[in-house]
Amino acid sequence: MKRIPYQPAGVFEPAGKTYSHGVIVESGRTLYVAGQTARDAKGNIVCKGDSAGQTRQLLENMKQVIEGAGGRMEDVAKTTVFITDIKYREAVGRVRKEFFKGEPPANTLLVVAGLADPELLVEIEAIVPLP
């Protein structure tokens, strides 16, 4: 699977290199990962009140989904991040860098009024071309 980050001339460089403006993918199969949240293996919400901890848990969950389908975190082409308060942006971005090393995926960040449970602070979904 070939995944090529795309940075067009004349478009600003993403702050902190936390996302790519575009990603060109040459692939035949695609995995659409549902919004992942900070739930442990038993479905319990973890890291209540901690946006970085919740992000780490949900990205561990996402990694298991992706690897189970035959992909790698490096294959992720696009993510959508939902946060319930803009103050979580920096912590979420910092943790994302732990999981998306090298060229990051394209990303959309949305601040929303709430998620499926009031204790959830962050949710992330992904599109992953599979090898």
Please tell me the pTM assigned to this model: 0.86
Residues 124 and 78: their CA atoms lie apart, in Å, by: 10
Residue 26 pLDDT exceeds 80: no
Q: In the predicted model, is pLDDT for residue 45 greater than 70?
A: yes
- DSSP, res 16: G
Secondary structure of residue 73 in the 3-state scheme: helix
Percent of the chain at pLDDT > 90 equals 72
How many Å apart are CA 129 and CA 72, to the nearest integer? 10
Could you tell me the residue ranges of all domains in the chain? 2-130
Looking at per-residue pLDDT, the higher value among 20 and 73 belongs to 73
Query: What fold is seen in the domain 2-130?
Result: 60s Ribosomal Protein L30; Chain: A; (3.30.1330)
* Residues 76-114 pLDDT 10s: 999 999 999 999 999 999 999 999 988 899 999 999 999
